[in-house]
Amino acid sequence: MSPSPIRVGLVGVTGYTGMELTRLLLAHPSFRLAVVTSRQEAGQSLSALYPFLQGFPAGDLVVAAPEAATLAAACDLVFLAVPHGAAMGLAAELLAGGCKVVDLSADFRLRDRAVYEKWYGIGHTQAEALAEAVYGLPELYAEAIARARLVANPGCYPTASILGLYPALAQDLIIPEDIIIDAKSGVSGAGRGPAVTSLFCEVQDTFRAYNLGAHRHTPEIEQELSAIAGRPLAVSFTTHLLPVNRGILATIYTRLKDPALPFERIRDAYAASYADHPFVRLLPAGKLPEIRFVRGTFFCDIALVPDPRTGRLIILSAIDNLCRGASGQAVANANLQCGLPPGTGLLQAALVP
């Protein structure tokens, strides 16, 4: 007899991360989508909302308003794909109702409540849940995630940046105080809400930087890199908008502690760090990552380029911002919470061309 499916709920089905979660959950061998919610679209069927779901059993699900009691009664685990500020109260109610939670917002990513309130401009009302939350990067925290009731799903830029830097910092190969992260994202990273800056004519055939020195993912990146380095550190983090739908490419400039360190030693450190993590792919020497080769996948592609002339190690990290940087990572975290291998339901080839 096959085990009973794990019942999952999705709060915020109408955003890009909710849409991507729906796509991934429909093909998951152990999860069954039991409840989907949206305040604005309540009463519609999923297939009416998303015609590409016609013919799927979950397409008959009727979108409901998000009510914690209903979700807790019908679900074993709930994904919260809602904006920051909207998740914290609902997460606490779901935990009290016996549900496990994966929160895709920023509400539980920053361990320091004051840092959250400074960068997001709102008060954090759930100190107890915040103290309980585990940061959901499986390559670093799999054991803690497996024991967690509440997982804070990482941001997309932090995922690409932390995975790119982790081995170099953990193996003490680079100077922690000299890190520059130059990152570019597809437009879906801005969310699905209407905004002039995301209109086709404002994005197509151009390339621009934004939020320099003020991007809200900065403290999240610094929090995790500081934990790896074992001391507080600050990074230069610059963000740019690419005229593409999805994908992130981070070019990370670091300075080697020993400029004469053989490249093979650096590469061996990365290979050893990710030997048990097949969804981080260390590319062969001379190959550079492209966002098209990770589109729609859970993979993170990393390349290392030593620059002996400047003593720098250049790290390139490419992910799909919606899958690896949000919804796919949420599924991996839910897998761990439910006793499944993290990659369950996530082994997919890239959507090319």
pLDDT digits (tens, 9 = 90+) for 12-43: 999 999 999 999 999 999 999 999 999 889 99
Residues 60 and 162 in one domain: no
Residues 210 and 315 in one domain: yes
**Could you give the number of structural domains in the chain?**
2
Residue 44, pLDDT > 80, answer: yes
Query: Looking at residue 353, what is its pLDDT?
Result: 86
Structural domain contains residue 329: no
Residues 83 and 214 in one domain: no
pLDDT tens digit sequence for 55-79: 998 889 999 999 999 999 999 999 9
Other CB atoms within a 10 A radius of the CB of residue 175 amount to: 13
Structural domain contains residue 140: no
Residues 119 and 44 in one domain: yes
Residues 88 and 171 in one domain: no
Residues 80 and 187 in one domain: no
Query: Looking at residue 1, what is its pLDDT?
Result: 54
Domain housing 13: 6-132
In 3D space, the residue among 282, 274, 199 whose CA is nearest the CA of residue 241 turns out to be 199
Residues 197 and 317 in one domain: yes
pLDDT tens digit sequence for 137-152: 999 999 999 999 999 9
Q: What is the pTM of this model?
A: 0.96
In this prediction, residues 321-348 reach a mean pLDDT of: 98
Structural domain contains residue 119: yes
Residues 98 and 50 in one domain: yes
The size of the chain, in residues, is: 353
- Which residues carry out catalysis? 156
Contact 66, 37 (CB under 8 A): yes
Structural domain contains residue 237: yes
Structural domain contains residue 341: no
Residue partners of 249: CB distance under 8 A and separation at least 6: 160, 183, 184, 242, 289, 290, 291, 316, 317, 318
